[in-house]
Amino acid sequence: MTARTDLAAHLASLDLPQGLVATLMTAAAACVEIRQVVAGGALVGALGASGAVNVQDEEQKKLDVIADDLLTEALLACPAVAGVASEEKDTVQPSANAAGEYLVLFDPLDGSSNIDINAPVGTIVSVLKAPSAQPSEADFLQSGRQQVAALYAVYAGQAMLVLTTGKGVAGFTLAPDGRWLMTHEDIRIPADTKEFAINMSNQRHWAESVQRYVDGCLKGADGPRGKNFNMRWVAAMVADVHRILMRGGVFLYPWDKREPNKPGKLRLMYEGNPMSFLVEQAGGKSATDGKQAIMDVIPTELHQRVPVVLGSANEVDQIAAA
């Protein structure tokens, strides 16, 4: 069997600051622990509701809380981390590390609705430079272009970790010995696709432009697009975007009129920015309303929401023109 590069060796080859390497290795190690709890499921008492509601006014699952605690504790103990922000918490949490250089934002367990049915879930992480030693919430409100790294782990048939530090995208599979081993050296998203991911149950609530785009896809070879499309929807952004990185496609979670004052469902800082960084580094595109790149949005609040379109570049352009 050919020897594979592990995550530590890959990061060492990129000539990154040691603090960033330490931060990423800490996050990756926490993902291994989360994977173990996810794999245990009912055997370790990790399924079901926690009885609490998070800052998003969503019912927390037990695994949401466990994953949040694992990531938070590990990262705050890392000397390179100045503070963290979680999708599950109201406010940021500064560390006691006087020399902390990095801020880490994360969605500890994306796809909570999938937990109890044993469908894919994952963890999403975004890393920023810390402007100050004792960061405030304002220090976290940096645009996605300021990210120095982003990763996600998807817990499915295999556990995979997909990473960018702004030098392309690499994928790693979790080995039985607990190491992340490189299995996908240079992930690239094809510019064209015949696959889209969207929650069709919300169709009647979408803006007209999204309606037109999806209608064109559904009409297949006889419609304006002149080709047949497949639709996929896992109900976990991390899993749907992972599929796009593996074989192409486009993911949409648009604004809809059920809550017209909310710009979107997904969170800019914990989902939109890190996933857009990964997609763009793999040759894809991202957009909010179909025109502005997600990473160009200037954040104004920690839990800001944003409409999301990302994936194969030519398909994102088609959505913008719809």
What's residue 98's pLDDT?
A: 85
137 is in an annotated binding site: no
pLDDT band at 47 (very low <50, low <70, confident <90, very high): confident
pTM, two decimals, is: 0.95
Q: Is 126 annotated as a binding residue?
A: no
Residue 114 assigned ligand-binding role:
no
The total of other beta-carbon atoms located within 10 Å of residue 188's CB is: 14
Would the annotation count 314 as a binding residue?
no
Please write the tens of the pLDDT for every residue from 76-97. Answer: 999 999 999 999 999 999 999 9
DSSP helix/strand/coil, 110: strand
Q: Is 110 annotated as a binding residue?
A: yes
Domain 195-321, CATH 3.50.50.60 — does that match? no
- Is 57 annotated as belonging to a binding site? no
Q: Which of the following CATH numbers is that of domain 7-184: 3.30.540.10, 3.30.559.10, 3.40.50.970, 3.30.70.100?
A: 3.30.540.10
Q: What is the pLDDT of residues 151-193, one digit of tens each?
A: 999 999 999 999 999 999 999 999 999 999 999 999 999 999 9
Residue 315 annotated in ligand binding:
no
Counting other chains too, the contacts that 280-284 makes at CB distance below 8 Å and 24 or more residues apart are 281/164, 281/166, 281/167, 281/168, 281/169, 282/164, 282/168, 282/169, 282/187, 282/188, 282/189, 282/245, 283/188, 283/189, 283/191, 283/313, 284/189, 284/244, 284/310, 284/311, 284/312, 284/313, 284/316
Q: Residue 155's closest CA among 249, 267, 236? A: 236
61 is in an annotated binding site: no
Q: Binding site annotation covers 107?
A: yes
What does the pLDDT look like over 263-315, one tens digit per residue? 899 999 999 999 999 999 999 999 987 679 999 999 999 999 999 999 999 99
Distance CA 8, CA 26 (A): 11
Distance (Å, whole) CA 217 – CA 226: 9
Biggest CA–CA distance in the chain, Å, is: 63
Give, in degrees to the nearest 5, the angle at Cα 143 between 137 and 145: 140
Q: So what's the pLDDT on residue 1?
A: 55
101 is in an annotated binding site: no
Backbone angles phi, psi at 255, to 5 degrees: -60, 145
Query: Mean pLDDT across the stretch 253-263?
Result: 91
Boundaries of every domain in the chain: 7-184, 195-321
Residue range 212-230: average pLDDT? 96
